[in-house]
Amino acid sequence: MDLEQQLQLHFGYGSFRIGQKEVIQALLSGEDVIAMLPTGTGKSICYQLPALLSSGTTLVISPLLSLMEDQVQQLRSDGVKGVIAINSFMSKDDRETALRKLHTYKIIYLSPEMLQVAFIQKQLAKLVISLFVVDEAHCISQWGPDFRPDYLRLGQIKELFGNPPCLAITATATRGVQEDIRAMLLMGRPIYLIYSVDRPEISYRVEHCETVQAKIERVQQLVETLNGPGMIYFSSRMWAENVASLLKRKGVLRVAYYHGGLATEDRLLIQQQFMNGQIDVICCTSAFGMGINKKDIRYVLHFHYPIELESYVQEVGRAARDGQPSVAILLYCMEDRGLVNMLLERERLSDEQLKQLLHTVKMFNFLKAGDERVLLDQIGCDEITWRTIRYQLEAKGVLQKERVKSFSVDAVFCRVREDEQERYQQKQKNLELFLRWIRTNTCRRKRLLLYFSEELNYQPMDCCDNCGATLKQFQKTKSAQESVSLRTWKETLVDLFGQSDIARK
């Protein structure tokens, strides 16, 4: 089969990008694959194309709900039919309709949580599954920041579907994480297709600011002088909103904020405005942009840094997808430490909360989904934390499906705490490694690659601040401040409906 021809036919691309073809070939010949392709390579093609070329159905397990929906919409607008995302956002009616005609879909995206539902497993098991894909596979590592216990069962579930060829794909997995993925998915002898995480077009830079105020001023300065479009990452919604409105007051007009708290329709408008060049700067939280593929992002600033290097690589990887030079600037300030520690602690319940939660669970004979909701709201426990606790309960045999067996609150309490402690220490360690990268005065690219057990083979121009790169080439050449004033509704309507052939009034 001429894969290039198929690629052109289905997606309109003339040639493959690094690693894509190798992954596709391996999958089509029935192998299990663990693939690591650098950010911005178009990882989804690696399973979408084989999905279309296989006779059965492809299951894609994706941990990020919004990413899933974005991909489905994107595929549909590429003209690929028979794609669906089944997740908890769906209305009950839509979900029922989808489940009834599962056999008509070529690609089914599922969240790991949905895959745990017995009824859905049963329906899926009736299909011929030709490919089992785990996207963003680094999430399934126990030690990743996005770990959720539901991933631990993916291997067993895969066997339920007759062990189809399996692809685990990610942009950021250290050796340890790769091994974790293999074990978790019960892969026998997978083919490892590991490509360098390096993005030679991106220049790395860390700037130290004395105070938060100084950092705000520096952001403003950078936004005014750097060549856009660009993104600024924040660790909270409030910060993203505040800095966006500050920039606006300072005359940077084409800026918007974006975070998980926006209504879906607003989210889509902002994304598309950014894609369409109506906005130059996006102030966002990590919720942004998983699904969007804007090619010409020229800079990524971190007002707050994430809790480990993997996330940082993912986020700066949004830049330079067109291969043109871009810059990643991390703004660091001592005061950030407190905030980051808070992020690490975020998912922990207090002793009292945890005990109360366990005592309440103990009172149930059967724990139904509806009960869980009420329970969590009562105690103020978020979904992810609960899933971790729930996993412990299941592992101890206390919870079997919905049935609750009698258990010792103290014993489970200790187990949960131990588990959290272990996880917390690992996160601390990851953070420490990232902080070392931030503080290093040797080549940042080399250190970054080292973290992923790679060596630096090629040092680009403008490698990093420690190699002497400056911001010179990333600066705006002309200071064209674009006007944003509204045109009249009549003009806009004529414009909207296109051409002058209807501008007859």
Partner 1 sequence: MEVETTRQAIVATILDCFKDERTIYGIFHLLKGKKSAQTIQDGAFFGVLSYFGLFPTLKRDELEKDINKLISNGQASLVEQDKVILTNSGKQKLTQFQTKNQYIADLRGWQYHSYTEEFWLRISLYVQVITHIVSGNRQFYPITHQSSVQRWVKKHLPKSADERKEKRNHIYDELYAFLSRCSDIQATIFVQQLSGEKRVGLTKLQLAEQLGMDETTVNLYHLSTVHRLLNELNDRQETYQNLSIFDLGLKKSIVLTESARKTFHLFEKGHSIESISRRRQLKQSTIEDHIVEIAIQHPQFSIRPFVCKELEERILQVSDMLQTRKLRELKEQIGSEVSFFVIRLVLARKKVQHGS
Residues that bind partner 1 (CB under 8 A): 69, 73-74, 77-79, 94, 248, 256, 264-266, 268-273, 275-276, 278, 484-486, 488-490, 492-493, 495-499, 502, 505
Least distance from partner 1 to the Cβ atom of residue 87, Å: 11
Is the bond leading into 229 cis (omega within 30 degrees of zero)? yes
Tell me the angle at which helices 45-53 and 20-28 cross, rounded to the nearest 10 degrees: 30
CA-CA distance, 421 to 431, in Å (whole number)? 15
Q: Are 366 and 404 in contact (CB under 8 A)?
A: yes
Least distance from partner 1 to the Cβ atom of residue 46, Å: 21
3-state helix, strand, coil in the chain (%, to 5): 50, 15, 40
Q: Which is nearer to partner 1, 169 or 247 (CB)?
A: 247
Cβ contacts of residue 363 below 8 Å, gap of 6+? none
Least distance from partner 1 to the Cβ atom of residue 215, Å: 24
Q: Which is nearer to partner 1, 130 or 271 (CB)?
A: 271
Least distance from partner 1 to the Cβ atom of residue 13, Å: 13
CA-CA distance, 59 to 114, in Å (whole number)? 12
Q: Which is nearer to partner 1, 225 or 492 (CB)?
A: 492
Least distance from partner 1 to the Cβ atom of residue 493, Å: 5
Q: Which is nearer to partner 1, 11 or 195 (CB)?
A: 11
Q: Which is nearer to partner 1, 163 or 278 (CB)?
A: 278
79 burial class (0-12, 13-18, 19+ CB within 10 angstroms)?
exposed
Q: Which is nearer to partner 1, 455 or 501 (CB)?
A: 501
Q: Are 247 and 224 in contact (CB under 8 A)?
A: no
Cβ contacts of residue 155 below 8 Å, gap of 6+? 184, 185, 186
Least distance from partner 1 to the Cβ atom of residue 259, Å: 13
Q: Which is nearer to partner 1, 6 or 74 (CB)?
A: 74
Least distance from partner 1 to the Cβ atom of residue 69, Å: 6
Least distance from partner 1 to the Cβ atom of residue 416, Å: 35
The helix/strand/coil state of 501 is: helix
Cβ contacts of residue 466 below 8 Å, gap of 6+? 440, 441, 442, 443, 444
CA-CA distance, 140 to 121, in Å (whole number)? 19
Q: Which is nearer to partner 1, 365 or 488 (CB)?
A: 488
